[in-house]
Structure 1
Amino acid sequence: MNKWLKRSVIAIVAVVALGAAALALGSYLGDRKAQRHVEVSVAAVEVPADAASLERGRYLFSSRGCAECHGANGGGREFINDGKSMVVKSPNISNGPGSVVVNYSAVDWVRTIRHGVKPNGRPVFIMPSEDYNRLTDADVGALIAYAKQLPRANGSGLQAKVPALVKTLYAAGVIQDAAEKIDHRLPSAAPVPASVSREHGAYVANMCIGCHGEHLSGGKVPGGPPDWPPAANLTPGEGSAMPRYANAEQFVAMLRSGKRPDGSVIDKAMPFESLGALNDVDAQALYLHLKSLPAVKAGNR
């Protein structure tokens, strides 16, 4: 073996070894970050028991992503599996065997839903609490009330297989958990009358933040599986998806069917199980709000 080839092989082996060591260290630091303590001040909310509030809670559970991740019965389900190295099964949040919430107080529920922090102070893994942080007190209370009366289902705690690269990016802050993204000092959101209005649409649009970003301009979804496509730009800016929808009817039809007006199928990364459960008022109000947004270039989250 000539000297040039020998040196090249040594250099390649060294780079691979350094890369493996960096990933090992990053994976360790990511695990350690997930064990950190997050101190938040949690305000209690009233947990109602009347039929109307329970129905509101059922609607929110179905349309805001809770059922999409935890299953309609709350028992937990596999909601990420890239067929390679990343698999995530959500925890059981019913009152059945293996439940992680069986000893939750009302404040524990609020801390988890609104702040993305477990009762022990550790951050919740993956759960998009930034989407729920701006729910009104009444809606948080209704959601808790419904979840607390779910029938008993068998399940377990979180089961997650996460690649070392994802953990490394998490440790470096490239990927953040919800507890990092949320401004925990914000007061509770003021109630907005449910109507086909931009104001109510802005309230509904909070459910889109986790994937489409704070400014709803989309881009690569942080922490999502590698094969997920970039989230669409929902503002009128460069690369916007909204010109596809000439009116609210076309937009609502897309939410119901998972298909664009031209018949093309949208990637299943979009949570159509939840979006399809939006009622007409919420869906049409969401359209009005998105059409009124200031233009932001695609990918600026």
Structure 2
Amino acid sequence: MGIGLGCLVLILIVAYAVIYFKTESRINKTYTINVQKIAVTQSAEALTQGEHLVQIKGCRECHGEDLGGKIFIDDPQLGRLVGANLTQGRGGIMREYTKADLTRALKHGVRKDGKSALLMPSDEYNSLSVEDMGALMSYIKSLRPVDRELPENEIRPLLRVLTFLNKFPLLPAERIDHTKQSVQTVKSEISANYGQYVATGCVGCHRPNYKGGEPLAPGFPPVPNITKSGNLGKWTEDQFIHTLRTGITPEGKKMDPKDMPWTMTKEFTDNEIKSVYLFLKSLPEES
């Protein structure tokens, strides 16, 4: 029995060593990006749209209310993940980031050093129009400096295993088509096409087919199906809007904003929220 247990321990050590070095290789991979030129202005229109995008994209969930950065995951098994200080204050990345660096980080999920950002939803930002990306960058560059120095990220064993198995979206640069060019503008109108543009922010949790599935990580709840073959199929447009703006479903369930970020979706404009409803209702039912 002692020999068998020793062999098992040895196998586990070797397996984790393989996982460690494989994930380290992926984490330290460098990307060379041909960055698309994005205009940055300080016009009132751009700053207003940029602030709106910060609200509906959930930037403050990871980077703090003042966008001065915060630790957003600190778990003994998963590790510590830190949202960077996005200002020009002490500890802020904008003290060093150029416009091209910021474009690379937002659109491609690649840091200034060429390595992938960690758990940054750049695969969602990658589809932003040039106009919207420029507005988002303009707003970030206008932020009041926040002096806040933060600790480094720390990847612990469970997170490495989940990353190795592709069960946790740690490395956004791996999932992005870095040759894709953004369209100049996307018209804000009530349509399923515009809804698809807005609903890219739902893909990270609800999957590319919007049908949800298994939990995003251990301890998380299963992700619901938000196509018409799920509960959405029973909801009217008014009920959908009420749910996304109050966090209360037609069935009377109060949604936890940690699981469903309705505190973000409540900031959708009428055009955005109605278009998302049209898009989700247009998706094919499960066969």
Instruction: State TM-score, norm by structure 2.
Output: 0.90
Partner of 1:3: none
Q: How many Å separate the matches in 2 of 1:150 and 1:122?
A: 25
Q: How many Å separate the matches in 1 of 2:80 and 2:104?
A: 26
> 1:175: how far off?
4.0
Q: How many Å separate the matches in 2 of 1:175 and 1:85?
A: 10
Which residues in structure 2 correspond to 1:171-250 (within 5 Å)?
Answer: 171=164, 173-176=166-169, 177-189=171-183, 191-220=185-214, 224-237=216-229, 240-244=230-234, 246-250=235-239
Cα distance change on mapping 1:257 and 1:10 into 2, 3 Å: farther
Which residues in structure 2 correspond to 1:43-82 (within 5 Å)?
Answer: 43-82=36-75
Partner of 1:264: 253
Partner of 1:163: 156
Deviations 1:212-265 (A, max 9, x none): 2222222235xx44111232222234xx23134x21221122122222112213
The amino acid that maps onto 1:249 is D
Q: Contact 1:88 / 1:158 at 8 angstroms: preserved in 2?
A: no
Q: How many Å separate the matches in 2 of 1:236 and 1:86?
A: 37
Partner of 1:283: 273
Partner of 2:108: 115
Q: 1:37 aligned to 2:30? A: yes
Task: Give unmatched runs, 5+ long, in structure 2.
Answer: none
CA RMSD of aligned residues (A): 2.2
Choose 177-186 or 189-198, whichever is displaced more.
Answer: 189-198
Q: Contact 1:91 / 1:158 at 8 angstroms: preserved in 2?
A: no
Cα distance change on mapping 1:171 and 1:234 into 2, 3 Å: same
Q: How many Å separate the matches in 1 of 2:79 and 2:237?
A: 37
Deviations 1:187-208 (A, max 9, x none): 2135332122212111101111
Choose 255-264 or 16-25, whichever is displaced more.
Answer: 16-25
Choose 183-192 or 94-103, whichever is displaced more.
Answer: 183-192
Deviations 1:54-111 (A, max 9, x none): 0000100111111221122111123234575433231111111111232111111111
Q: How many residues align?
A: 285
Secondary structure of 1:60 counterpart: helix
Partner of 1:4: none
Q: How many Å separate the matches in 1 of 2:107 and 2:11?
A: 40
Q: How many Å separate the matches in 2 of 1:295 and 1:82?
A: 37
The amino acid that maps onto 1:269 is D
Choose 136-145 or 181-190, whichever is displaced more.
Answer: 181-190
Q: Contact 2:70 / 2:150 at 8 angstroms: preserved in 1?
A: no
Instruction: State TM-score, norm by structure 1.
Output: 0.86
Q: How many Å separate the matches in 1 of 2:219 and 2:263?
A: 20
Task: Give unmatched runs, 5+ long, in structure 1.
Answer: 1-6
> 1:26: how far off?
1.3
Q: Contact 1:236 / 1:296 at 8 angstroms: preserved in 2?
A: no
Cα distance change on mapping 1:210 and 1:156 into 2, 3 Å: farther
Q: Contact 1:130 / 1:209 at 8 angstroms: preserved in 2?
A: no
Q: Contact 1:81 / 1:88 at 8 angstroms: preserved in 2?
A: yes
Q: Give the share of equivalent positions with the same residue, in percent.
A: 31
Q: Contact 1:75 / 1:153 at 8 angstroms: preserved in 2?
A: yes
Among 219, 244, 248, the residue aligned to 1:255:
244
Q: Contact 1:68 / 1:273 at 8 angstroms: preserved in 2?
A: no
> 1:292: how far off?
0.6
Q: 1:293 aligned to 2:283? A: yes
Q: How many Å separate the matches in 2 of 1:17 and 1:243?
A: 51
Q: How many Å separate the matches in 1 of 2:254 and 2:24?
A: 37
> 1:164: how far off?
1.2
> 1:43: how far off?
0.7
Q: How many Å separate the matches in 1 of 2:279 and 2:184?
A: 17
Cα distance change on mapping 1:99 and 1:132 into 2, 3 Å: same
